[in-house]
Amino acid sequence: MPERAGARITQEQLEQLRRRLHEKVDQGIEKLLGLTKEGINPYELDFTGRESMVVEWGREVTAMLLEANVVYDGELAIFEGSVTCKCPRCGEPSPRDMDKPDQPTYDEVTLITRAGKVPLRLPQFRCPKCRLLFSPLPNQGRSPSGTL
């Protein structure tokens, strides 16, 4: 795997992402060629109908790639293994919020992109001074490598 500033993806995670993308591409090809059992015969659709299928499928693939970019290449990857994070209100180091020991909490949010909605799980931290529960946000929409 080529090394690049800001990349935080393991070889195993990269292979898993490739498998997911290959499966999605294979599903799209089979659906477009009428090889699935979904009851859709693309040849009964006009060109506009087939074009719509391909565009929707492309959005799904794009959303998968954007999600991987944010999770593995963005600033969020920095926080995944973090024990503490600076409180946005008072600046004090704040520990990860835990439901149980070794079970950190996450904030489920949706990133809205031109390709559609991308689900994100942001790690949560709790400030002992302010008692603020917060999730660190990427650097105003830019990752350290500037790719987000």
Q: How do the domains of the chain map onto residue ranges?
A: 11-73, 83-134
pLDDT of residue 22: 93
Give the residue among 123, 128, 136, 130 at the shortest CA–CA distance from 94: 128
CA dist 53 and 11 (Å) reads 32
- Which tens digit of pLDDT belongs to each residue from 25-78? 888 888 877 776 665 676 677 888 888 888 888 888 888 888 887 777 555 555
Q: Looking at the DSSP assignment, which residues form a beta bridge with residue 93?
A: 86
CA dist 78 and 8 (Å) reads 8
- Which tens digit of pLDDT belongs to each residue from 94-130? 998 888 777 888 888 888 888 778 787 788 899 999 9
Phi, psi of 94, deg, nearest 5: -125, 135
Contact 61, 68 (CB under 8 A): no
pLDDT of residue 146: 37
Contact 133, 95 (CB under 8 A): no
Report yes or no on whether pTM surpasses 0.75: no
